Amino acid sequence: MLKHFKKAGLGMATAAVAVMTSTAALAVDLQFYFPVAVGGKAAKTIESLTAEYVAQNPDVTIDAVYAGSYSDTITKALTAVRGGKAPQLSVILSVDMFTLIDEDAIVAFDELVTTEEEKQWLNSFYPAFMENSQTGGKTYGIPFQRSTPVLYWNKEAFKAAGLDPEKAPANWNEMVEMGKKLTKTDASGNVTQWGVRIPSSGFPYWLFQGLTTQNDVILANSDGNKTNFDDPKVVEALQYVVDLSVKHKVMAPGILEWGTTPKAFFEGQTAMMWTSTGNLTNVRDNAPFEFGVAMLPANKRRGAPTGGGNFYIFKDSTDEQKKASLEFVKWITAPEQAAKWSIATGYVAPIPQAWNTPAMKAYVKDFPPALVARDQLEYAVAELSTYENQRITKIFNEALEAAITGQSDPETALKTAQEKAEKILKNYR
pLDDT digits (tens, 9 = 90+) for 299-323: 999 999 999 999 999 999 999 999 9
Confidence check: pLDDT of 48 > 60: yes
Q: Provide the whole-model pTM.
A: 0.87
Confidence check: pLDDT of 365 > 90: yes
Distance, CA of 113 to CA of 205 (rounded, Å): 34
CATH class of the structural domain 149-306+382-428:
alpha beta
Rg (CA), the chain: 22
pLDDT of res. 38: 52
Domain ranges of the chain: 2-147+308-369, 149-306+382-428
pLDDT of res. 345: 87
User: Please, which residues bridge with residue 18 across strands?
Assistant: 4
Share of the chain above pLDDT 90, in %: 85
| 54-78 mean pLDDT | 92
What are residue 215's phi and psi, to 5 degrees?
-95, 10
CATH class of the structural domain 2-147+308-369:
alpha beta
What are residue 188's phi and psi, to 5 degrees?
-90, 0
Q: Single out the residue of 403, 395, 399, 397 nearest to residue 243, CA to CA.
A: 403
Residue type for position 166: E
| 158-169 mean pLDDT | 98
Under the banding of pLDDT at 50, 70 and 90, the label for residue 25 is: very low
pLDDT digits (tens, 9 = 90+) for 74-106: 999 999 999 999 999 999 999 999 999 999 999
pLDDT of res. 40: 65
- Per-residue HEC secondary structure of the chain comes to CEEEEEEECCCCEEEEEEEECCCHHHCEEEEEEECCCCCHHHHHHHHHHHHHHHHHCCCEEEEEEECCCHHHHHHHHHHHHHCCCCCCEEEEEHHHHHHHHHCCCECCHHHCCCCHHHHHHHCCCCHHHHCCCEECCEECCEEEEEECEEEEEEHHHHHHCCCCCCCCCCEHHHHHHHHHHHCEECCCCCEEEEEEECCCCCCHHHHHHHHHHHCCCCCECCCCCCECCCCHHHHHHHHHHHHHHHCCCCCCCCCCCCCCHHHHHHCCCEEEEEEEHHHHHHHHHHCCCCEEEECCCECCCCCEECEEEEEEEECCCCHHHHHHHHHHHHHHCCHHHHHHHHHHHCCECCCHHHHHCHHHHHHHHHCCCHHHHHHHHHHEECCCCCCCHHHHHHHHHHHHHHHHCCCCCHHHHHHHHHHHHHHHHHHHC
Burial degree of 74 (CB within 10 A; 0-12, 13-18, 19+): buried
pLDDT digits (tens, 9 = 90+) for 243-279: 999 999 999 999 999 999 999 999 999 999 999 998 8
pLDDT of res. 1: 29
Task: Write b or e for each residue in 108-134: b if 16 or more Cβ atoms lie within 10 A of its Cβ, otherwise e.
Answer: bbeebbeeeeeeebbeebbebbbbbbb
Confidence check: pLDDT of 14 > 50: no
Confidence check: pLDDT of 21 > 80: no
pLDDT of res. 43: 83
Confidence check: pLDDT of 114 > 80: yes
Confidence check: pLDDT of 18 > 80: no
